[in-house]
Amino acid sequence: MGTSKDILIDRIYELEQQVKHFKKYKKHIYVHDTDTIWVDYGELHLQCEQGKIVFNMETLFNDLPTIIGLCIEEQEKSKQEILEQISKLTKL
C-alpha cells in the first residue's frame, strides 16, 4: 500500500489521462463559416477555421430532413423576433 502522496500522484495521473482523452474525443467545433467543402470517398468534408468536420454521406443524406427542418424552424423564430423589433420601432 502506497503513501498518501503516492495515492495522490496516481490519482493526478489518472485525471490527466482523462483530460487528454476528453480533449481528443469530446471537442466541440463551432462553425461560423466554412472555408471549403468537398466530397471524397463517400464523405463530405467541411473545412473551417477550427478544423475539419467529416460526415458519412449516406448518414448525412438520411439526416437532411431533420437538419433542414430544424434550420427552417430556427430561421422562422429569428425572423419573427426581427419583425417584432421592427414593429416596435415603427410605433415610436
Condensed to tens digits (0 to 9), the pLDDT of residues 43-89 reads: 999 999 888 899 999 999 999 999 999 999 999 999 999 999 999 99
What is the biggest distance separating any 2 CA atoms in the chain, rounded to whole angstroms?
77
Angle at 28 between CA 75 and CA 80, to 5 degrees: 10
Q: What is the mean pLDDT of residues 11-29?
A: 80
pLDDT at 41 over 80: yes
Model pLDDT, residue 73: 96
Domain boundaries, the chain: 4-90
pLDDT of residue 38: 96
Q: What is the pLDDT of residue 68?
A: 97
pTM, 2 dp: 0.60
Q: What is the pLDDT of residue 26?
A: 66
3-state secondary structure the chain: CCCHHHHHHHHHHHHHHHHHHHHHHCCCCCCCCEEEEEEECCEEEEEECCEEEEEEHHHHHHHHHHHHHHHHHHHHHHHHHHHHHHHHHHCC
Model confidence at 1: pLDDT above 60: no
34 sits in the region (left: phi over 0; alpha: psi -120 to 50; else beta) called beta
**Residue-level pLDDT at 23:** 74
